[in-house]
Amino acid sequence: MERKRAQGIPQVDYSPIIQCMTRLNEDERKKLKGKFEICYMLARESLAFVEYVPLHALSERHEVSLGQNYKTPDSAKLFTHCIAESQRKSLYLQKCKNKVKK
């Protein structure tokens, strides 16, 4: 992973979590989506990644099972990075489409 990072390859292209997403069943995908949504909210509201743990616990208390994996602030950082990369790619593609239209 370090070599790919040094080569400038976006993390979303080689991250194990992104690679495994293609093999998830529907229930696992919903759980992972909930974790990404929490991280998106943290980033949007400029909250610290340490807030991820209590927000994850709160969702579990309200019987929204998000699974037992990826419950740490480091996981929140990874999810948020993946969200940011996805947004960057989307904006870049939109910018390219707008140039072509002109």
The pLDDT tens digits of the residues spanning 70-86 come to 788 888 888 888 888 88
Tokens 């390859």 — which residue?
A: 9
* pLDDT for the residue numbered 77: 87
Tell which phi-psi region holds residue 24, choosing left (phi > 0), alpha (psi between -120 and 50) or beta.
beta
* pLDDT for the residue numbered 13: 64
Give mean pLDDT, residues 49-77.
81
Q: Say how far apart CA 72 and CA 57 lie, in whole Å.
A: 11
pLDDT at 48 over 70: yes
* pLDDT for the residue numbered 32: 81
Q: Say how far apart CA 81 and CA 69 lie, in whole Å.
A: 18
pLDDT at 88 over 70: yes
pTM score, two decimals?
0.56
